[in-house]
Structure formats: structure tokens, C-alpha cells
Amino acid sequence: MSARPPASPPARGPRLLLLSLLLLGTVPGPHPGSAFYLPGLAPVNFCTEEKKSDECKAEIELFVNRLDSVESVLPYEYTAFDFCQASEGKRPSENLGQVLFGERIEPSPYKFTFNKMETCKLVCTKTYHTEKAEDKQKLDFLKKSMLLNYQHHWIVDNMPVTWCYDVEDGQRFCNPGFPIGCYITDKGHAKDACVISSEFHERDTFYIFNHVDIKIHYHVVETGSMGARLVAAKLEPKSFKHTHIDKPDCSGPPMDISNKASGEIKIAYTYSISFEEQKNIRWASRWDYILESMPHTHIQWFSIMNSLVIVLFLSGMVAMIMLRTLHKDIARYNQMDSTEDAQEEFGWKLVHGDIFRPPRKGMLLSVFLGSGTQILIMTFVTLFFACLGFLSPANRGALMTCAVVLWVLLGTPAGYVAARFYKSFGGEKWKTNVLLTSFLCPGIVFADFFIMNLILWGEGSSAAIPFGTLVAILALWFCISVPLTFIGAYFGFKKNAIEHPVRTNQIPRQIPEQSFYTKPLPGIIMGGILPFGCIFIQLFFILNSIWSHQMYYMFGFLFLVFIILVITCSEATILLCYFHLCAEDYHWQWRSFLTSGFTAVYFLIYAIHYFFSKLQITGTASTILYFGYTMIMVLIFFLFTGTIGFFACFWFVTKIYSVVKVD
């Protein structure tokens, strides 16, 4: 039966990227030794109980991850619910990125043997007495989770166990998760997954999916006697009110829990498992069936083409200024020998004696530039590794771990850039500068993050960072990042100040009355529109992956958009900088930073629009968490884009004034 999906489909990564990764050797090939394997991502071989050995396992372990919902920002651990628990089993070690994202992978009571069929096997039975306060609390939490459409996330052989179903236009969508249950309102309206069956019809009733039909697809290894490799794990959630709980037969009406139910309620959890050989699917391409169900590739190419058109337009404008206008200006100025000619100077040449005058609040600007440089290099290196396949979704938590480690290790360039520019601004309080570089922007981010963590801790969410991890993050910050920042600042202050091509006059030149378009605020507001226009479509998919808990695998697109963003910010800032200099306004330092940095304000406006138009988030805690984490992203994006704009404008101003003869 065709069903409306309970969650919107995730954004799709191009198959071309998968092919390129295979050619590069970063994704294991179909034959042993055809490519190198990423750490922890080597294939595991399985065989039947009779043939198991050290190289070939018979037992298939199923792990459970956190449960999350598109209607709530609060994820919960599997153990927070009263589901069947594993009696024994080792919990997999989690990296820093998984802890920061709130992933909590644990062993499950579901144990399988390769190629051994099971039908309606009982896992456990949960009994609730509505008169007991503890049981009523567990049952109410389960009902609330079904009402908010919380989703299970199971893992087999490092692959998500997917629920595949038909959606509109005859397409088939594979969701890497499946719901706990669903709800029929008191008006008879079927919410979320209750649309999949007409048997769910009782009003004001919850239906729990207490049975799963699991089908594991495998591919037999052709070389040697190495057994088989798993290439897909799919399931179908079902609901059964088992007549004989001790000997379930998986038949009968669905398991309903009425809001008015009282007395004893028993829920038996069961599963069936089957195996199917797939000769055409290899281990290296086992993610393809998930990616193929995500129909948004054409939107990505439209976004890229849209961004490229903007870049070409800006490049043409900048080239026209550099080759025509500036070339003529410089040629005319260099031919001026008489006093009469010198008096006829106009435009940007007139402010040569003030162009490198230190800006107001030079301390703050240098600190922002240092932190922005740190973020810029971190982003570039992280996306580069992601494009090579090292930070794929199969390597859980690797993206965040890589970003945090890189940020910590990049304290040296942050301190160097901040100190270098602060010295060129004529600053002498080097201790204050290096302390602010080390603690101002990271401190704001950490304070916001800590407040959000307190809310998560109060709500009992699995996304709450343990105290030990917080101490570890502080240790990385204070013991590694801060000393590296001091080292960078030492070398920055030790070097001579940046030499400017023209001298600065002692008396500042008066800036003439500016037209509306050359005033600071309109220019800054206009400057952020074009860079935002290059990224807003990609931004939709990034926000989807964060807040709608969807898979993000489009790092090739993202890296290309990153390069386009850098070019667009640079060109838009240079363009507006030239217009302001022609209007004899020489305050370009802060304006160049804020012009491209204003893209972050458009990011914030889009995030607010996304919250009210796309998300179904409810609850005060979830709303505060959304905007709290959004403010962290906006601050990071502001420093990132602002630094790009400043460096581009600094290069432009230095170049044009270095070729002008100044008397």
C-alpha cells in the first residue's frame, strides 16, 4: 500500500562522487587488495555456524543508536525507553564527534546467525500496570514518543537498517530509521506511520510497532573461501497483539494502547529474519540503494549553476574595474607631472595618504581576523578530507572529530594573523591581544554550548555532553589551542609591521558627504546578498541533515560551493570597496569585514524562516535549543566570511596603491 512518508526524504549525494572515491581507492573495492581501507571500515566476512573461523564470523550483531524525531530537537538513548535490553554485550567505543552529536550506540538483544532463518521469535515481554506510578510513567513516555514520531536507528555491520516503502509518483524511499509507533487522533485522523495500514482505525489510540520483519542481503565473496559480505539490511515494522505471548505466531489485530486503557497492558516484542543473496551488489556500493532513493540531485546541480552565474557576473565586473577603469586611472595618474594636473586628481587617488590609517577598534578587528583565519583553514581542510571519503557517514562522528582537532591545532595561525595585523594597526597591548584571540570567540561559543548542554541535561536527552567530555574539551582548549595561539602571536609580534606602499598623513582627510548608496550601512547590507545567493540551496540540505536527522553525503557539492562562496565574497567586497574609495571614503577595514560578514545575517534570517516553515518542532526546550545552536553557527559563519572579505580587500588596496606614484 502506498504511504505518505513520516519524514521528508534526505538529501542525496551524487553517485559520481561514489565512483570517484572508488577510483581514488578511498572506498574499498569489490576484491581484496584492490584498494586500501579506511580505519574501521574494512569489510567483515560472514559464514554459517559450521564454517565459522577467525576470518569468518557466524554471529551478526545488531546495535541500537539514539532515537530522534523531526518534531523535537531532543534525542534520547535507547535505554531511556522501556524496550528490550541486552543482557550482555560490549558497547562500541565512541569518538569525540559521536559524543558531541549525541550518538549513543549500544548492544541490542537482537542476535542473529548468518543464513539462519527465524520466524516470529520472542525477544521479551513488557508488562505495565496503570495503577503503578512507575509503570504509568514509562507508558506515558512511550506514548509521548509515539505522538512526536520518534524513530529507531539500528545498525548492522556498520550499515543503517532501513525501512523502504513506496511514496508518491511510484518512487521507493529507504529511510535509515523506523518509528516506535503511531497515533490515531480522537477525530480519527491517522498521524505519521498510521497511514500505512487500514487496521489502525481506533480513535484516540496508540499503535506500537512491536514486531519487525528483517531481511539481510549478502554478496558471496568470489575469491577464496572467505564467506559472504552484507550489502543491505532492510526491515518492515509491524504491530501484533499476540494471542499467546509465550508462543507468539505474529497474527491477529495490531497492538493498540488506548489513552483510556486501564489495568494490565502486555507488550511482546518479536522479530523474524531472512537472508537473500545479491549477486549484482558489491560491498563497495552497498550504500547506493539508500542514495538512489533521495531525489534531489537535479536541485544540487541547479544550485551550482546558479552560483556559477553569480561568480561569472562578479568576475566580469571586477575584471572590468581592474583592466579598464583602474588601468586608465593609473596610467593617467602616473603621467601627472605638473602642479595643475595634481590638483585635478579625483577619486581613489585622493585618499592615498589615509588609506592605511589604523581603523577604530583595531584590537577587536585583529582578534576577529585571527579567529576567522582559524575557522577558514579548518573548514577547507575538513571539506577536502570529506571529499576524499575519509569523513563519510559510514565513519560516524569523523566529520566533527576532524573539525574539532583541526581547530585546536590551528591556534598558531590564529595568533600569528591577529598579532601581525594588530601590530600594523599600531597597537601595543600585545598581551591583551593574544588573550582575546585565545578566549573571546571560543569563549562565546563555549558559553552558548554550555547553556544548551544544561538544557539537554535537564531534559534527560542523550545529546547532553557528559561532564568528562566537557573537561576533555576544556583541556584541549586550554592546554593545546591557547599555547599554540601564544606561539603564533610571539612570531607575529616579533616580525616587523606590515609595510604599506604609501605613507599615512598625520592629519586625517575630511570625508565628503556620501550618497545613500556609498554610506556604510546600505553597502554592507547589499554586500551580503550575492554570497548568500550562492549558498542558500545548499544551506537547505545542511539544515535538513542537522535538524531533520537526515543523511548528508554531498561533500563534493559542498566543497565546490565553498570555493564559490570564497570567490563571491572576495569579488563582492572588492567591488564595493572600489566604489567607496572612488567616493573618497577611506574607512575600508571594518567595512570590508562587515560587507561579506553580513552574509551571516541573511543566514540567520533564513534559519528563522526554515524553523517556522519547514520544521515541525514543538516545545519550549526544543525551540531554545534550535536558536541557541543556530547562533553558534551564525557567529562562526560571520567570522569565516568576514575574514575572506577583509583579506580580499587588503590585497586589492595594497595592489592598486603599490603601482601609483605618490609625490
Question: Which pLDDT value is given to residue 348?
Answer: 75
Flag whether pLDDT at 393 surpasses 60: yes
Element (H, E) at 73: strand 72-76
Question: Which pLDDT value is given to residue 529?
Answer: 87
Question: Which pLDDT value is given to residue 330?
Answer: 66
Q: How far apart are CA 516 and CA 6, in angstroms?
A: 50
Question: Which pLDDT value is given to residue 29?
Answer: 34
DSSP letter, residue 479 = I
Pick the residue with more confidence: 345 or 551?
Answer: 551
Q: How far apart are CA 405 and CA 414, in angstroms?
A: 15
Question: Which pLDDT value is given to residue 24?
Answer: 32
Neighbour-count burial of 152, counting CB atoms closer than 10 A to its CB (0-12 exposed, 13-18 middle, 19+ buried): buried
Flag whether pLDDT at 19 surpasses 60: no
How many CB atoms are located within 10 Å of the residue 624 CB?
14
3-state secondary structure of 485: helix
Contact in structure between 479 and 438 (CB atoms under 8 Å)? no
Q: How far apart are CA 76 and CA 583, in angstroms?
A: 58
When pLDDT is averaged across residues 420-445 and rounded to a whole number, the result is: 94
Question: Nearest-CA neighbor of 162 among 175, 172, 173?
Answer: 175
Statement: the pTM of the whole predicted model exceeds 0.75: yes
How many CB atoms are located within 10 Å of the residue 131 CB?
10
Give the side-chain half-sphere CA count within 13 A for 231. 21
**Above pLDDT 90, what percent of the chain?**
40
When pLDDT is averaged across residues 445-468 and rounded to a whole number, the result is: 92
Give per-residue pLDDT as tens, 234-280.
999 999 988 777 788 888 889 988 888 778 888 999 999 999 988 88
In b/e form, how buried is each residue of 25-64, taking b as 16+ CB within 10 angstroms? ebbbbbeeeebeebeebebebbbeeeebeeebbbebbbbb
Contact in structure between 77 and 462 (CB atoms under 8 Å)? yes
Flag whether pLDDT at 564 surpasses 90: no
* Among the ranges given (251-265, 339-353, 485-499, 635-649), the one the predictor scored with the smallest mean pLDDT: 339-353
* Among the ranges given (114-128, 281-295, 519-533), the one the predictor scored with the smallest mean pLDDT: 281-295
Flag whether pLDDT at 512 surpasses 70: yes
Average pLDDT over the chain reads 83
Flag whether pLDDT at 4 surpasses 70: no
Strand partners, 265: 128
* Among the ranges given (198-202, 300-304, 368-372), the one the predictor scored with the smallest mean pLDDT: 300-304
Flag whether pLDDT at 10 surpasses 90: no
* Among the ranges given (330-344, 448-462, 636-650), the one the predictor scored with the smallest mean pLDDT: 330-344
Question: Which pLDDT value is given to residue 174?
Answer: 81
When pLDDT is averaged across residues 1-20 and rounded to a whole number, the result is: 37
How many CB atoms are located within 10 Å of the residue 264 CB?
11
Pick the residue with more confidence: 394 or 66?
Answer: 66
What is the pLDDT confidence band of residue 345, given thresholds at 50, 70 and 90? low
Question: Which pLDDT value is given to residue 538?
Answer: 82
Q: How far apart are CA 47 and CA 65, in angstroms?
A: 26
How many CB atoms are located within 10 Å of the residue 289 CB?
18
What is the pLDDT confidence band of residue 346, given thresholds at 50, 70 and 90? low
Pairing between strand 162-166 and 228-238? parallel
Flag whether pLDDT at 354 surpasses 90: no
Flag whether pLDDT at 223 surpasses 90: no
Q: 256-260, 304-308, 337-341: which has the highest mean pLDDT?
A: 256-260
Give residue 206's identity as a one-letter amino acid code.
Answer: F
Give per-residue pLDDT as tens, 312-333.
877 787 777 767 666 766 666 6
Question: Which pLDDT value is given to residue 43?
Answer: 85
